[in-house]
Amino acid sequence: MNEQGKTKEELVSELQKLLQENNSLKGLKEKRAAEFIKAKENDRLKSAFLANISHEIRTPMNGILGFSGLLKTPGLSGETQQEYIRIIEKAGARMLNIIDDIVSISRIESGLMEVNIQESNINEQIEYIYTFFKPEVEGKGMQFSFKNTLPEKEAFLNTDREKVYAILTNLVKNAIKYTGKGSIEIGVSLRQAQGTVGEPVVTEQGRSTEVEFYVKDTGIGISEDRQDAIFERFIQADIEDKMARQGAGLGLSISKAYVEILGGKIWVESKEGKGSTFYFTLPHQTETIKENGDKNKFLLPVEDASINNLKILIAEDDETSEMLISIAVKKFGKEIISIRTGTEAVEVCRKNPDIDLVLMDIDMPEMNGYEATRQIRQFNKDLVIIAQIAFGLSGDREKAIAAGCDDYIAKPIKIDELLEKIEKLFS
């Protein structure tokens, strides 16, 4: 016993306790230090990512502003003007891609990505992709082939068609971008679903199947140490990639998120200098098998307009967009009225019950297009309202329809698509 009246055993046990506490404090300190380093690393990657995005936006902007300036040069030949306009269009399209990617990634990050499951004909989709990209691949002097072993009756999946389309488009675009010569092949097949360790997946209904897609190229390939990183969102921007043509490095991370949302897997097999094959799978859900899939057919532009006596209201606060729509719909109209706010849209419709068509911008000052539509519907159920929405998110269409619109068109507006919608709604 010592002077504080504690036995030797008690002292040893206290000492052990103190040592334990000390150890756990040490552990906590190390954990905090690791978290701090990780947070700093994340910050650094996000900054690198933002710098990359900023560069990606500035590059097409440079093309747009530069060539718009050049267009003003007096005495330019018609041919040169057309050439400059083509460059501006291309740069605009590239910019739009980047903006779409940023919107998608932030919706994925915030968990707000909607999934729109409907019956989709996979064969038709992949065939469409093949037809769409064939001229571009062949234009680069390469071969493009398409292997399909999916029987027609197995081709109808319950999935999100737009997301499947986005994944395939992204993989094919990459294959084109990172391949200089040789060939690109796309394909789809039905296979036995594999579990995490490669064993067949068996459910109550028996062995389950999945649809496997692939996009194969004979391009630059990807070194083994980068094959996981290319699917990560912030990491990619940080990789020094001397071969990178252009791009914000978001495409594959978006594709991965989409594949996983839809219940599949995505991976790559690649050899540097030889080429890459990207694979992804989707669960083979075909409860509602259909023999023909008319509703999945892609629409073709309408050639001529037979309607020319409409009274049209353009509700649009942006002057350039308003000008574009006015010019586009002129052939349908006997009278075109343009206003800038949602409140005005409601007033003008109240005073002009003979208006046939409203092209309703959604993002307007004072009152947005959804609210304006709801108010107009209280006194006029007959006029046709087409919403024009700049957010580019899936679910827009549903919101517009719920507010009382007859149809919806995404901005930037594709003139052919708008004219086709008007033709359809008035025929």
If binding is defined by CB under 6 A, does position 98 make contact with ligand ADP? Answer: no
For residues 284 and 158, give the distance between their C-alpha atoms in angstroms, rounded to a whole number: 8
Residue 17 main-chain phi, psi, to 5 deg: -60, -45
Closer to ligand ADP by Cβ: residue 31 or 271: 271
Burial of 130 (0-12, 13-18, 19+ CB in 10 A): buried
Checking DSSP bridges between strand 310-315 and strand 333-339, what pairing results, if any?
Answer: parallel
In whole angstroms, how close is the CB of 244 to ligand ADP at the nearest point?
5
If binding is defined by CB under 6 A, does position 187 make contact with ligand ADP? Answer: no
If binding is defined by CB under 6 A, does position 426 make contact with ligand ADP? Answer: no
For residues 361 and 162, give the distance between their C-alpha atoms in angstroms, rounded to a whole number: 23
x-or-dash string of contact with ligand ADP, 133-172, rule CB under 6 A: -------------------------------------x--
Length of the chain: 427
Closer to ligand ADP by Cβ: residue 246 or 288: 246
In whole angstroms, how close is the CB of 51 to ligand ADP at the nearest point?
14
In whole angstroms, how close is the CB of 373 to ligand ADP at the nearest point?
37
If binding is defined by CB under 6 A, does position 178 make contact with ligand ADP? Answer: yes
Among 91, 150, 252, 329, binds ligand ADP (CB under 6 A): 252
Residue 402 carries which side chain, given as an amino acid letter? A
In whole angstroms, how close is the CB of 97 to ligand ADP at the nearest point?
9
For residues 395 and 261, give the distance between their C-alpha atoms in angstroms, rounded to a whole number: 16
The β-bridge partners of 121 are 156
If binding is defined by CB under 6 A, does position 248 make contact with ligand ADP? Answer: yes
Contact in structure between 383 and 337 (CB atoms under 8 Å): no
> CB within 8 A of 351, min separation 6: which ones?
none
Contact in structure between 384 and 376 (CB atoms under 8 Å): no
Closer to ligand ADP by Cβ: residue 40 or 274: 274
Q: Which of 273, 287, 280, 336 is nearest to 308 (CA)?
A: 336
If binding is defined by CB under 6 A, does position 230 make contact with ligand ADP? Answer: yes
If binding is defined by CB under 6 A, does position 52 make contact with ligand ADP? Answer: no
Closer to ligand ADP by Cβ: residue 178 or 426: 178
Q: Which residues bind ligand ADP (CB under 6 A)?
A: 170, 174-175, 178, 217, 219-222, 230, 236, 241, 244, 247-253, 276
